[in-house]
Chains A and B, each alone.
Chain A
Amino acid sequence: MGADTTSITEDFASLQDALNSGVQQRILSEYVKNPFLDDDVHALALRTGMVRQEVGPVLAELRHAGLLQSAGRRGHMLDAQAIIDTSIGTTDTPPADKEAEEPPAQLFAPLLDALSCGVALIDINTGAVEANQAFGRQLDLPTNGLNAERIAERLECDLHLIAGDQAPVLRALENGVSVELRSGNMGPFSGLIAIVNIGDGGWEISKAQVQIQEDLFAQLREEIAHPAEFLQSFLEKPKKSELGQARAAIERIHAFLALYLLDDPSGQPPLS
């Protein structure tokens, strides 16, 4: 006999402790219960009994905090890497006597290094900064020994003032580079997030286009290809018992085509 059925995921429940809001915890608990869950905003709202408009921002926060990741088709799933990182962060604590000598653990280094744009997390209280290589390169700042004071000097602004004001601030530099500063929380980190923007957003647009294309292909597979596959097998060997399923497959294809391609302004149902 194996362990109790709840024991697979109860270890992940510690992730929820790091979250401040009950709503965040409620949503994350669904993904913790089933680490394979890949609900989108609509399905998750229905699952949790929350309003759809409320779920969207919370999902974005959880994604931003690195706890959830995209699962395609606008769905989300638990980010297993976050659990690994959190676990390493909590289990590999350096001994107390060495704490003063060693620099703070770079918790978000893998995440920051994966980003092509320059990003820095600035702790306003301690002045500690965790930044990726791109941030140093794009702002002509050394990555080693970088602190809040150096960044404030480079951006010619008061970081404490910006952190106090919740609205994001954009600082334009002489070489066409701009830096967006916004207050934010990410796991144990709490302070300012600095994001460097060197282009006109072309990369973001092409990334969004790729995502839209991927979503559409996934939908085509689900709504057209699979029902068509079933219809083909049904027509090769028709069974009376599968007639209802065949009709449903046609309805599904029609509904999709009506929604995206054959939208009839008269509002007639796709299959009558």
Chain B
Amino acid sequence: MVMDIRNLRDEEAASDSPEAVEAEQEPGLVDWIEACVDASDPADKARFITQLRLCVPSEEGIALLRDLVSSAGGARALLAAQVLGHHRTWLSTAAGVKQHLALARENEASAVVAALVWGLRQRDEAAEFIVDTDNAVAREAALATPVSRRTLSPILAGLRAGIRPEVERILLHKLHQIHPSLVRYLVDLLVEGSWGEEALRGLFASLPQMALFELFLDTRHPAAWALVDTESTRFWQRLVRLASDVLVAGPGCELLRHLLSRSGEDEAFARRHGSFLRDAVRRADANSGADLVGHVERLTFGASEEKVARLAQSLVDLSTRLDGAAVDKVHTLLEQWKSRSADLKLKIYHLEQGIG
């Protein structure tokens, strides 16, 4: 019997071909990750990290990285998660995001989950990890979460639940930069849960002051939910009181300028918010005082006596917060106004003596 060896020769030839050898030798993503983790010399590690940064993973590459995250464990999983966070082509499809989320939900190593959540930066999906029990994961989620209609609810849930101070700091800082158009929506969400006094105070202190003032203090129409029942009305009133307290305690320059401008222009507004304005001006930051005096000066340039008289009260109040050149400027301005008419002179004199 004779054995047919033609096929064997073909197989041997195929395995010896240069293409086959080249294909075997070409290192891939997984090889670099393995080599990076195994390398003992920091310089070698750095070289592999550069390589991992420069490569452009294909769909298969992304799948391999996911496999490493879910099955390799330890440093390999962490590095694979960081590479996934660096090369985010998977973000372009809903399925890719879903798979990434599943990886993060299922993984048990907190460092790996934090790296996966970092990969979700500026994505609404990161918000679900804000209340994670692990600090590193919750911190990364707070950093990654953008402020949007979709994320406001989980952000507020986190703040209400009492998260770690560092995570709270990050979230409140983000809320400080919320778009004013979203503040109304945020306030509507407050009714969904029970809030402690301190948590609400901290939240309000972080929100844009102008939006808070317009929403709670300069409106005659409360939110629709506030009229549903007595308890809701009471909650709304509590929010109004807190907003007023917070704004008066640390009024920003923008709010004070707005109050002064509106008070000068609109007598009804000045009457409605007179006491609030007085309290706010008395707590104005001394550094912004000089700026406010300049603002009042501009507002009263060529203005009517009534407008000047309305703003004179604020200027006298403001002078108690100032010192040095700013006080001199206030006095000069008041003297100029006094010279306008005997009536105005008397009014300003009474204000200065505290009998206005």
Contact = CB atoms under 8 A, between A and B. Distances in A.
Contact of B82 (A11, A34, A80): A34
- Say what secondary structure dominates the interface of chain A: helix
Given A8-B45, A229-B92, A36 B111 contact: no
Interface in B60-114: 72-79, 82-83, 85-86, 92, 94, 109, 111-112
Contacts of B205: none
Contact of A87 (B46, B50, B115, B169): B46
Contacts of A35: 49, 82
A3 B76 CA distance: 8
B351 interface: no
Interface in A11-66: 11-12, 14, 34-38, 43, 46-47, 49
Given A8-B45, A8-B75, A87-B43, 9 more contacts: A1-B74, A2-B77, A3-B75, A36-B83, A43-B143, A46-B173, A49-B169, A83-B42, A242-B94
Contacts of A139: none
A12 B42 contact: yes
A3 B37 contact: yes
B234 interface: no
Interface residues of B, number: 44
A84 B46 contact: yes
A114 B75 CA distance: 34
Given A83-B46, A87-B42, A88-B43, A248 B74 contact: no
Contact of B181 (A2, A8, A272): A272
A226 B83 CA distance: 21
Interface string B168-180: 0110011000011
Contacts of B124: 245, 248
A7 interface: yes
B149 interface: yes
A227 to B, nearest CB: 12
A155 interface: no
B82 A36 contact: yes
A255 B53 CA distance: 31
Contacts of B37: 2-3, 7-8
Interface in A65-81: 77-78, 80-81
Interface residues of A, number: 42
Contacts of B129: none
Given A2-B37, A81-B46, A36 B53 contact: yes
B74 A5 contact: yes
Contacts of B180: 269
A5 B169 contact: no
B203 interface: no
Contacts of A150: none
A247 interface: yes
A3 B74 contact: yes
Interface string A88-106: 1001000000000000000
A244 interface: yes
B216 interface: no
Contacts of B74: 1-5, 7
Pick the 7 closest A-B CB pairs, nearest first: A2-B74, A87-B43, A269-B181, A83-B46, A80-B46, A36-B86, A11-B42
A46 B181 contact: no
Nearest to B53: A36
B148 interface: yes
B214 to A, nearest CB: 12
Nearest to A269: B181
Interface in B113-132: 115, 118, 124
A26 to B, nearest CB: 14
B150 interface: yes
B112 A251 contact: no
Interface string B294-333: 0000000000000000000000000000000000000000
Contacts of A255: 179
B350 to A, nearest CB: 37
B149 A247 contact: yes
Nearest to B83: A36
